[in-house]
Amino acid sequence: MPEHPDLSSGIHADFSLNDWLAYIEALHPKDIEMGLGRVNQVKQRLNLQYNFPVITVAGTNGKGSTCAMLEHIYHAAGYRVASYSSPHLLRYSERIRVARHEISNEALIRAFQAIESARQEIQLTYFEYGTLAAMWHFCNADVDVAILEVGLGGRLDAVNVFEPSCAIVTSVDLDHMDFLGYTRELIGAEKAGIFRANIPAICGDLSPPQSLINYAEGIGADLKLIQHDFQFERDQSCWRFSSPQCTLDALPMPALVGDFQLYNASCVMTAIQSLQSVLPVSKEAICDGLLTVRLHGRYQYLSSKPDVILDVAHNPHAAKSLAANLKNTATQGKTIAVFAMLADKDIRGVIQAIAGEVDEWYVSGISHVRGADALTIHQLVNAELPDAVIRLFDGVKNATSKPVLMLMKMIELSY
């Protein structure tokens, strides 16, 4: 259990949750600063210790879906599950959940106070602060298992200061190149940094970079590769998972949309089987979790007539999956992309990936320091698609007003 700091003095006792979030966002001069030194120091001061298994999940895409499936399956099996994910869509508390319930504002403030008391002179980034707060909360919440989603990369991500019982890399592709490198080999080495000696190291990428394999073998991790150490086969309405340890037939398709979700689900099955001795799970719980899993922002239907679909595809790899889902979605009207992105993303690559499934583009800026403005996005769309119908809006809200949506299918890309 962590050492409880003395909060009797009421550190920032007058702070609301919004005050705290503004405070920690301004605490560090950089949005992102790679490295584990600061987090490790504060972790040691907090005396954060835990006796529950931790599953760490990294990957360019698919880690959110993988975490959600793990969370729902272990919950269905009767475990008290902790889950930490990022980013959030509407509320910061979405990031920190126990027993599938978001952390309360009061509990989140207590966690922030604990981190503030321990960090003293150490400058933490927004993500580092939140990661420590989440794990402090989990250590005090009597949980059975914690699922931690890596924010960026793996090796130098704040989540990586916590020792996992199992580590998953869902996929490796080009994203965050300024921090992780400009090749899959460099990025693969960064993501492999979550692997540990003698623990299951699972990879769901069909063509994993050699750097990832070399790292896992070099440290003596128990590496398990899709289509080599575990496989899946799809039938018309169900699927089959197989590995040397077990075979599971007639599994229901995950409730998350897309055939690619079976790659994530196969990683989930491998993790569950790897931890079966400490966290037994029945096939019934697996089926229940797969059927009930939900994840906001992943091909999420918001309304119909017109169909309004939300997807947070923010790199070309994710956009290709989104395009495949759109292609498989029957529609009688137009497909309009309400399109806004951060400036440091591969906007051109996303446009190229989704272009064949979009009839009109409603582009908007994002009111964030990292957001691309509408004019920049307009120029990039026009450069790739000179004949495209493009309309500018001063905000996503205006682009999705009722008159705009009438009799149209809309897809909203954000983040």
Segments of the chain assigned to CATH 3.40.1190.10: 17-292
> Superfamily for 17-292?
Mur-like, catalytic domain (3.40.1190.10)
CA-CA distances (angstroms) from residue 384 to 81, 314, 354, 379?
A: 45, 17, 11, 9
Q: Is 111 left (phi over 0), alpha (psi -120 to 50) or beta?
A: alpha
- Beta-bridged to residue 389, according to DSSP, are 360
Mean pLDDT computed over 199-220: 98
Tell me where in the chain the CATH 3.90.190.20 domain(s) lie: 300-413
Range of lowest pLDDT (116-130, 169-183, 225-239): 169-183
Burial of 406 per CB tally in 10 Å (0-12, 13-18, 19+): exposed
Q: Which homologous superfamily does the CATH classification assign to the domain defined by 300-413?
A: Mur ligase, C-terminal domain (3.90.190.20)
Highest average pLDDT, of 28-37, 72-81, 85-94, comes from 72-81
What is the predicted pLDDT for the residue at 1? 43
Q: What is residue 263's predicted lDDT score, i.e. its pLDDT? A: 96
Q: How confident is the model at residue 135 (pLDDT cuts 50, 70, 90)?
A: very high
Question: For position 21, what pLDDT does the model report?
Answer: 94
Q: Please check the confidence at residue 371 and state whether its pLDDT lies above 60.
A: yes
Give residue-wise pLDDT tens across range 3-62: 444 443 467 888 999 999 999 998 887 777 888 999 999 999 999 989 999 999 999 989
Q: Say which residue the tokens 């993988």 belong to.
A: 66
Over the stretch 301-344, which tens digit does the pLDDT of each residue have?
887 777 888 888 888 888 888 888 888 887 777 888 888 988 88
Which residue would you say has higher pLDDT here, 316 or 415? Answer: 316
Q: What is the pTM of this model?
A: 0.85
Average pLDDT for the chain = 89
Per-residue model confidence (pLDDT) at position 331: 74
CA–CA gap between residue 191 and residue 172 (Å, rounded)? 8
